[in-house]
Amino acid sequence: MQRIGVFVCWCGSNIAATVDVQAVADALAKEPGVVFATNYQYMCSQTGQDMIQEKIKELGLTGVVICSCSPRMHEATFRRTCEKAGLNPYMVEIANIREQVSWVHKDKAVGTEKAIILGRAAIAKVQLNTPLIAGESPVTKRALVIGGGIAGIQTALDIADAGFPVDIVETKPTIGGKMAQLDKTFPTLDCAACILTPKMVDAGQNDNIRILSYSEVEEVKGFVGNFEVKIRRKARYVKEDLCTGCGLCMEKCPQKKVPNEFNMGLDNRTAIYIPFAQAVPKVATIDANYCLMLKNGKCGLCSRNCTAGAIDYKQQDEFIEEKYGAIVVATGFNPISLDKFDEFAYSKSPDVVSSLEFERLMNAAGPTGGTLLRPSDRTHPHTIVFVQCVGSRCDASAEKGKEYCSKICCMYTAKHAMLTREKYPDTEVYVFYIDVRTPGKSFDEFYRRAVEQYNVHYIKGMVGKVVPEGGKLKVQASDLLDNRQIHIDADMVVLAAAIEPDKSARPLATKLTASMDTNDFFTEAHPKLRPVESPTAGVFLSGTCQGPKDIPETVAQAGAAASKVIGLLVKDKLIGNPCVAKPNELMCNGCSSCEKVCPYGAITYEDKPFRGPNRTTLIRRVACVNPAVCQGCGACTVACPSGAMDLQGFSNRQIMAEVDAICK
C-alpha cells in the first residue's frame, strides 16, 4: 500500500467558493493509504509547492494526489515539484476539481461531494501507480531523403545547410523529378529549369549531401533516431566516379530507338543516355532493356569510345547499409494513366496529349525545340481544346479516376492556354472546366489574365467525346452556362490528367511502417498540427507524397520537413514518454492483434525462451514494444484479448480502480 499525501487547492476562491475544501481534505484523509491531507490557497504557488516537497520528505510519501485545476494545466508543474523532492513524477495524480467541479456546479454540497469522489478516484489510481522512468535513445546525426524531386532537393539542402549529412535516394538516373520536365511555372511564368537546375547543382556540390541516384530503398529497420536502411544501387553499367558526362557514348550508341521518358515518349533516345543536359549527377546510364551489348553481347561501341574507361558491362546491383536519425519521404507524384479514358481518344490519336506531354511540346529543350507542333503531322495546331479534371473529382462509384481534386491542373492549364495564345495568337484555345479553382497568391489574377487579356475561351462544362476524323479531333462538349451542345473541330486536345502518388510509395510505406490513406498518399501525424510528420516517429513528409501540391507549397513543406528533421538531429538523445504500452511476455500469445492496430509500427515480435513445466524450455513468439516509437494511445491494449498488453500510467487496473471509486 502506498503512503499517499492529498493536497487540496482552493485556487483562491475559484475552487473554495463552491467546494468545501476542508471537508474534502477531511474526507480524503480517511481513505485507506492516505497518511496526510491538507488544503491550501494556491498549491501551484511556490509556498504550495514547497509544502508538497516538505511533506514528501517528512512523511516519506510514495504517492501524491492533488485536487486542483485540470491536469492539462498543472500536471507537469506538480510532477516537477514532486520529482525535485525525490518522488517519481509519475506517482502524482490530479483530481480535477476546478474545471470539472467548482466551475460547473453551483451548489456547494453537490460540488463538495463530487470533489470527494474525484479525489477518491485519484487515490484509487495512485494506489496502483508505479514509478516510471522515461527511456533514452541516441540519435544518428544523418538524414535520408527518399526522392530527388524539388521536394527532396529542398529538404536535403536545408538539412545540409544546418550542418547535417544527408543522403538523397533517387530511383531515376538523375535528380530533378517532375519539375525538371516543366516548361514555365505559374503564376510568374519563369522558366522551371532556370530555377530548378541551380538547386540541383547546389545539391550535387554540397559536401553534406550524397546523391544516390538510380537507387532504391530496400529495407528499413530501427526507429526514430536509429534507422538502419539498406539501399540498392542499381547497376547502371557505368562507373559513376569515372564518367565525365561528355556524351560521346550517346553519339556512338547504335541503338537510337528507345522511347525517351524524359520527353514523355514523344521522341527517342539512345540505350546509353543522360536523361537531360543538366542532369545531376551528370553520368551516363545504360538501359539494359535496349543495350545490344547487354542483350546480345554484340556491340561494345560505347566502351570502345569512352576515353574515361567508365563503361562496365559486368556491373551488378550493389547494396549499401547506412544509419539515419530521420527519414524524409519525398516520392512525389505521377499523372494517372489515361488508358481508361477512351472517350477522349487518348490512345487513338497522338494529338490528344496529357498536360505533361504538352509541357514537353512547349519546352525549348523538348522534342520540338519549343515549337508547338502536333505530334501526328508536326504542323501548327490552330484550335486547341483543354479538358480539365480528367480523372480528378470522380465519383467514388466510377471505376476510373480519383475522388480528390488534383489541385494544380486549373493553374497549369491557364498557364498553357496563356502561353499558347502569347506565342501563337492565331490559335483558338478552349478550356472546359467543372470549376476553376484559383486560391493562391496571384492565382486568380493569373487566370483572369488568361480569360480577359489572352481571350482564352473558358467554357463551364465537360467534354463528352473526342473523335479523330479527317485529321481533326471532333470535340463534343456541353456548355452548362448557356445550356447548349458545342462541337469543335480541334487540332489538339490536352487532358489535365489527375495526379496520383508514385507507385513506389505503397511498398515504401510498408517498409517504413508509415500509414497511408486510401489514395496512397502518406498520412500526416496530425492533419492540422503536424502536417509534415508521419505518425511513425522519425519519418517526415515532403511534397506531393502527402497530397497534391504546387511548387511553392512543396518547397514550403520541404523546408518545414527539414526544420523538423533538424530539430530531431540536433538532439543528442531522445527522451521518451514513459506512458507507453508494455506487454507482459508471460501472457502474450504473439497473435499480432496489437500490431495490426498500432499506428506507429512500434510493435514487433520476437521468439523468446520461457520456462515451461517440468524444467522444459519453450520458445514463444511475443510482442515487443519500442518505447521510443510508441506514443501511448492504447489501441493495442484493447486489441489484446489476453490483457498482456497494458498501458503504463493508464493501466487496466488503474482505470478500473477509478471506475470502482466513482461508482461506489
Partner 1 sequence: MQAVIKKKAKELLECGTVDRVLGWKAGEFFYDLTPAVFTTPEEIDKDFVFSVFSGANMSKYLIEETKKEGKVAAFIKPCDSYSLVQLQKEHRIKRENCYIVGIACDGMCDMGLVREAGIKGATAVSEKDDKLVLETIYGEKEMPKEKALLERCVHCKSKKVVDFDEMIGENGEENPDCGRFDEVERLEAMTPDERFAFWRSQLSRCIRCNACRNVCPACSCEKCVFDNPDSGIAQKAAASDFEENNFHIIRAYHVAGRCTDCGECSRVCPQNIPLHLLNRKFIKDMNELYGFYQAGADFETKPPIMNYTTNDAEPSVVYQRGGSK
Partner 2 sequence: MKKIAKAKIDDLFKAISEKEVLYLPVDDAQGQAAFIPWKEGLKMSGDLNTVRSAKDLFFPQVESLVNFKMDGKKLEIIDAKRENDPFVIFGVRPCDAKSFEILDKVFYYSEPVDSFYIARRDKSTVVVLACNEPEETCFCQAFGIDQAEAAGGDVSAWEDGENFYFKAVTEKGEALLEGLPLEDAEDGAADDIKKAAKAVMEKLPLRDLDLSKFGAGKTQELFDDPAWAKLSESCLGCGTCTFVCPTCQCFDIKDFDGGKQIRRFRCWDSCMYSDFTQMSAGQPRPTQKERFRQRFMHKLVYYPDMHEGMFSCVGCGRCLRKCPIHMNIVKVIKTIGEEK
Partner 3 sequence: MQVKENFTPTIVAFCCNWCSYAGADLSGNNRLEYPANVKIIRIPCSCRLNPMFILRAFQRGADGVILCGCHPGDCHYTTGNYYARRRMTLLFSMLDYLGIEKERTRVEWVSAAEGAKFAQTMNEFVEAVTALGENKRLEDLRCKQ
Query: Do residues 149 and 330 touch, judged by C-beta distance below 8 A?
Result: yes
Which stretch in 24-32, 37-45, 247-255, 467-475 sits in contact with partner 2 by CB under 8 A? Answer: 24-32
- From partner 2, partner 3, partner 1, none, interface partner of 98 (C-beta below 5 to 8 A by class): partner 3
- From partner 2, partner 1, partner 3, none, interface partner of 588 (C-beta below 5 to 8 A by class): partner 1
Please, what is the minimum distance in Å from the beta carbon of residue 367 to partner 1? Answer: 43
Cis geometry, peptide bond prior to residue 32 (ω within 30 degrees of 0) = no
How far is 86 from 64, CA to CA, in rounded Å?
12
Region 575-634 residues binding partner 1, contact defined as CB under 8 A: 586-593, 596-597, 605, 618, 620-621
DSSP label of 86: T
Residue numbers at the binding site for partner 3 (CB under 8 A): 70-73, 96, 98-101, 103-107, 110-111, 113-114, 117-118, 121, 515, 523-528, 535, 579, 597, 599, 631-635, 637-639, 647, 650, 652, 655-656, 658-660, 662-664
555, 561, 562, 565 alpha-carbon torsion, rounded to 10°? -170
Residue of the chain from 205, 296, 470, 663 that contacts partner 2 (CB under 8 A): 663
**Residue (38 or 589) nearer to partner 1, CB:** 589
* 289 contacts partner 2 (rule: CB under 8 A): no
Please, what is the minimum distance in Å from the beta carbon of residue 33 to partner 2? Answer: 9
**Residue (165 or 590) nearer to partner 1, CB:** 590
- From partner 2, partner 3, partner 1, none, interface partner of 32 (C-beta below 5 to 8 A by class): partner 2
469, 470, 471, 477 alpha-carbon torsion, rounded to 10°? -30
Please, what is the minimum distance in Å from the beta carbon of residue 62 to partner 3? Answer: 22
Cis geometry, peptide bond prior to residue 187 (ω within 30 degrees of 0) = yes
* 656 contacts partner 1 (rule: CB under 8 A): yes
**Residue (39 or 631) nearer to partner 3, CB:** 631
SS3 sequence of 206-252: CCCEEEECCEEEEEEEEECCEEEEEEEECCCCECCCCCCCCCHHHHH
Question: 480-500 burial by CB neighbour count: b if 16+ within 10 A, else e?
Answer: eeeeeebebebbbbbbbbbbb
How far is 109 from 226, CA to CA, in rounded Å?
55
How far is 641 from 587, CA to CA, in rounded Å?
10
* 613 contacts partner 2 (rule: CB under 8 A): yes
How far is 471 from 255, CA to CA, in rounded Å?
32
Coil, strand or helix: which one is 586?
Answer: coil
The number of residues in the chain equals 664
Coil, strand or helix: which one is 589?
Answer: coil
* 643 contacts partner 1 (rule: CB under 8 A): yes
Residue of the chain from 12, 13, 32, 50 that contacts partner 2 (CB under 8 A): 32
DSSP label of 43: T
**Residue (505 or 569) nearer to partner 3, CB:** 505
* 300 contacts partner 2 (rule: CB under 8 A): no
Which stretch in 30-38, 180-188, 327-335, 429-437 sits in contact with partner 2 by CB under 8 A? Answer: 30-38
Please, what is the minimum distance in Å from the beta carbon of residue 645 to partner 3? Answer: 11
Residue ranges binding partner 2 (CB under 8 A): 30-32, 613-614, 660, 663-664
